[in-house]
Amino acid sequence: MSKVAIITGVTGQDGSYLAEFLLEKGYEVHGIKRRASSFNTDRIDHIFEDPHSKNPKFFLHYGDLTDSSNLTRILREVEPDEVYNLGAQSHVAVSFESPEYTADVDAMGTLRLLEAIRFLGLEKKTKFYQASTSELYGLVQEVPQKESTPFYPRSPYAVAKMYAYWITVNYRESYGIYACNGILFNHESPRRGETFVTRKITRGIANIAQGLENCLYLGNMDALRDWGHAKDYVRMQWMMLQQDKPEDFVIATGKQISVREFVVMSAAEAGIKLEFSGEGVEEVATVIALSGDDAPGVRVGDVIVRVDPRYFRPAEVETLLGDPTNAKTKLGWEPEITVEEMCAEMVQADLDKAKRHALLESHGFDVSVAREK
C-alpha cells in the first residue's frame, strides 16, 4: 500500500517540488489549492494527471486554510499518513499590509489542521510537518542560529509563524501527535515567486539583458541571507517525518551573502559586470563590462539597478545565518546545490523566458511583461 500525503500550498514553490518528490517515492499525493479567478497551477501542471486516467496518484482539492470545515472534510476523506502544511501568506513585506489575514492563514490555519487531526482521531496515524521559518529569529540573538536560539520575530508574518511553531510543539506534547517544525532558512529556485528578492533579481536582470526592462528597483541591499535550493529543502521536509520520534530541525546551508552580492552574481551569469557606487537611497549599479551574447539590451555605462524606498520594511531582518549541524548529524542531510549553482539555474531559466518574449516582440507580437505593482 502506498503512503498517502496531503500538501497544503501545493501550488507554491515548495509544494510543487515536494509533490514531485513524494510521487517519485510512490506516494498518493493530495494537494489543496485555492480557488482563483485564473489558473494558478502552472508550477504543478507538468505532474497533474487526468482524473480519468488509470490509477491516478495525484489529486487536487479546493480548499483554504481559513476554512476549518473544508480542511476537516478533506482530512476525513483522505485519512493521510502525512500532512505537510506549506500553505501560507508567505511574503514578509505583504504581511505588514495584511497582518490580520496573514495571522488567520499562517497561525490559525495551522491550528485548524492540527485540530482536524485531533477531531478525527487521527493522532496516532497522521504525521504533521509545519513550515516554520528562520524569520522567527528576526532580530538575531545568536550567530549562527540553531534550534535553541531564542526567537525575536520582526513582522506580522514572523509573529504568526511563531504561533504556528508553538501550537505544533504544543499538540505534539499534549496529544502525542507526530508533529514537527522545519525551521527553514531562505530557499529559492526558478519556481520562486517573482516578488521575492532572488527571483526579482534574476528575472529583472534577464529582462534588462534582453531589452525588455531598463532598471531593477530594490530595497535594502545590505540584508544578509543564508540561501539554499528548494529541492534540497523539500527532501529534508520528508526526512523529518520518517524518524522514530518527532523533532524540530534548522535547515540551512551555513553560508550567507548579501542582496547586493546576489545582484552581482546574477548579472555576471548574464555576461554583465556591475559596479556599485553611491550610498543609501542614492546607491546604483552601473554596467562596466559585457561578455557573451546574452545581454544585447544593455551597454557599458548603463545604470541598471537603483534603490526604491518603497521596498524598505517597517522593521527589517538584517542578517540570518543557520547552523544545520543537527540535521547533518542526526538525519544525514546535506545541501547538494550551492548558492552559485542555484543563482546560475535561476538566471538561465529567466533568460530563456526573456529571450522568448524578446523574440515574439521582435516579430511584432504584443507581449507585455508582468511587473511588480
The residues that touch ligand GDR, with contacts defined as CB under 6 A, are 90, 92-93, 133-135, 185-186, 195-197, 200, 218-220, 223, 225, 259, 311, 313, 316-317
CA nearest 285: which of 360, 198, 215, 208?
A: 215
Contact 113, 8 (CB under 8 A): yes
By a kind-dependent CB cut-off of 5 to 8 A, residue 220 interacts, out of ligand GDR, ligand NDP, none, with ligand GDR
Per DSSP, the three-state class of 368 is coil
Q: Which of 157, 165, 178, 233 is catalytic?
A: 157
CA nearest 120: which of 170, 62, 79?
A: 79
CA-based diameter of the chain, in Å? 66
Peptide bond into 144 cis (omega under 30): yes
CB of 21 to ligand GDR, least distance (A): 19
**Catalytic: 133?**
yes
By a kind-dependent CB cut-off of 5 to 8 A, residue 11 interacts, out of ligand GDR, ligand NDP, none, with ligand NDP
Which residue is at the shortest CB distance from ligand NDP?
A: 12
CB of 80 to ligand NDP, least distance (A): 16
Q: What distance in Å separates the CA atoms of residue 342 and residue 286, rounded to the nearest whole number?
A: 24
Q: Which stretch binds ligand NDP (CB under 6 A): 50-58, 85-93, 320-328, 351-359?
A: 85-93
Q: Which stretch binds ligand NDP (CB under 6 A): 6-14, 290-298, 301-309, 361-369?
A: 6-14
- Residue 14 burial by CB count (10 A; 0-12/13-18/19+): exposed, middle or buried? buried
For residue 3 the three cell numbers come to 503512503
By a kind-dependent CB cut-off of 5 to 8 A, residue 195 interacts, out of ligand GDR, ligand NDP, none, with ligand GDR
- H or E element at residue 229: strand 228-229
Residues 115-154 that bind ligand NDP (CB under 6 A): 131, 133
By a kind-dependent CB cut-off of 5 to 8 A, residue 12 interacts, out of ligand NDP, ligand GDR, none, with ligand NDP
Q: Which of 135, 213, 269, 345 is catalytic?
A: 135
Nearest to ligand GDR of 106, 269 (CB atom): 106
Nearest to ligand GDR of 135, 232 (CB atom): 135
Residues 35-64 that bind ligand NDP (CB under 6 A): 36, 40, 64
The conformational region for residue 86 under phi > 0 = left, psi -120 to 50 = alpha, else beta, is alpha
Residues 64-83 that bind ligand NDP (CB under 6 A): 64-66
CB of 309 to ligand NDP, least distance (A): 24
Q: Which stretch binds ligand NDP (CB under 6 A): 84-92, 208-216, 265-273, 363-371?
A: 84-92
Q: What distance in Å separates the CA atoms of residue 22 and residue 127, rounded to the nearest whole number?
A: 15
By a kind-dependent CB cut-off of 5 to 8 A, residue 13 interacts, out of ligand NDP, ligand GDR, none, with ligand NDP
By a kind-dependent CB cut-off of 5 to 8 A, residue 21 interacts, out of ligand NDP, ligand GDR, none, with none
Each residue 179-218 as x (binds ligand NDP by CB under 6 A) or -, in order, gives: -----x-xx-----x-------------------------
- Residue 347 burial by CB count (10 A; 0-12/13-18/19+): exposed, middle or buried? buried
Q: What distance in Å separates the CA atoms of residue 31 and residue 249, rounded to the nearest whole number?
A: 24
Per DSSP, the three-state class of 258 is strand
**Catalytic: 24?**
no
- Residue 258 burial by CB count (10 A; 0-12/13-18/19+): exposed, middle or buried? middle
Quick check: 9 binds ligand NDP (CB under 6 A)?
A: yes
E-assigned strand segments in 134-186: 179-184
Q: Are strands 58-62 and 28-33 parallel, antiparallel or unpaired?
A: parallel
**Catalytic: 100?**
no
By a kind-dependent CB cut-off of 5 to 8 A, residue 218 interacts, out of ligand GDR, ligand NDP, none, with ligand GDR
Non-local (6+) Cβ contacts of 209 within 8 A are 270, 271, 272, 294, 295, 296, 297, 298, 351, 354
Q: Which of 110, 133, 198, 202 is catalytic?
A: 133
Non-local (6+) Cβ contacts of 121 within 8 A are none
Residues with catalytic function: 133, 135, 157
* Site residues for ligand NDP per CB under 6 A: 8-9, 11-15, 34, 36, 40, 64-66, 86-90, 105, 131, 133, 184, 186-187, 193
